Amino acid sequence: MKIITYNVNGLRAAITKGFTEWLTQENPDVICIQETKLQPEQFPAGEFTQLGYYAYLFSAQKRGYSGVAIFTKQKPDHVEIGMGIETYDNEGRFLRADYGDLSIVSVYHPSGSSGDERQRFKMEWLEAFQNYVLELRKSRPNLILCGDYNICHEPIDIHDPVRNAKNSGFLPEEREWMTGFLNTGFIDSFRYKNPAKQQYTWWSYRFNARVNNKGWRIDYCMVSEPMNSRISDAYILNDAEHSDHCPAVLEIKQ
């Protein structure tokens, strides 16, 4: 089973850059999308139906902002929209699809880069997200949490760890949260399969960052520990250029 996570930074914009053609070529079983930046009535459903995907979207109340989606070849047994926490659900950040005993989540963690208020919001979200997921894991132990976490965990995950040490996304408290979250029983699948590989999933649009590969690895396919033996591969598709992010892939044994 091939699962992709991809922050497309605007789904309609990505489509104009060849996203659907790329999706046909990659042919994942499930793709988790972040930053759809559209309302349900703006979604070109027919394009994805033709490719054989069921599409589930959770949009932010604010137009042109945030939003997550799951496109899946197999119809889920159940789809859960949001976490039941109004403050976060208003921003369209969490969507879950269940397949038998397996659950796949598309999640978009907030960015704190716009200032102190959003950084506080981010840290509060991280605590609420962890509490929600740990409770969910009691009834859905086989979890795959795909998405843009807006955090680089270790120095290997960022091009310049020294000069970015005070920037949102690589702050000590964010990295500590990530360590703690993994220690509750989750696996960073890319790092698990590639312990020494320095590869990124996001580049600033400024300063030719992508051309110079001055990037950050902030997009993850996290897997709960009971899924450990089912991880067959995890890798990053740096050549996909429909966004300032690129996709991360997880392949599991069914």
% of the chain with per-residue pLDDT over 90: 99
Going by DSSP bridges, is the β-strand pair 30-34/68-72 parallel, antiparallel, or unpaired? antiparallel
Q: What is the mean pLDDT of residues 147-153?
A: 98
The range of the structural domain enclosing residue 248 comes to 2-252
Burial of 25 by CB count in 10 Å (0-12 exposed, 13-18 middle, 19+ buried)? exposed
DSSP structure class, residue 229: G
pTM of the prediction?
Answer: 0.98
Distance CA 148, CA 68 (A): 10
Q: What is the mean pLDDT of residues 177-199?
A: 98
Is residue 152's pLDDT more than 90? yes
What is the rounded radius of gyration, in angstroms, for the C-alpha atoms of the chain?
17
Q: What is the mean pLDDT of residues 149-156?
A: 98
Confidence (pLDDT) at 174:
98
CA quadruple 224, 192, 123, 125: dihedral, nearest 10: -30
Give the total number of structural domains in the chain: 1
Note the Cα 250 to chain centre separation in Å: 12
Is residue 227's pLDDT more than 90? yes
Output the domain CATH number for residue 35. 3.60.10.10
254 contact partners, CB below 8 Å, separation of at least 6: 1, 230
Distance CA 149, CA 130 (A): 12
Going by DSSP bridges, is the β-strand pair 142-148/102-108 parallel, antiparallel, or unpaired? parallel
Is residue 254's pLDDT more than 90? no
Confidence (pLDDT) at 140:
98
What pLDDT band is residue 242 in, cutting at 50, 70 and 90? Answer: very high
Measure the N-to-C terminal CA separation of the chain; round to a whole number of Å. Answer: 6
104 contact partners, CB below 8 Å, separation of at least 6: 3, 30, 32, 70, 72, 96, 97, 144, 146
Distance CA 161, CA 143 (A): 30
Query: Which residues belong to the active site?
Result: 148
What pLDDT band is residue 1 in, cutting at 50, 70 and 90? Answer: very high
Is residue 180's pLDDT more than 90? yes
Tokens of 106: 């598309």
Confidence (pLDDT) at 245:
98
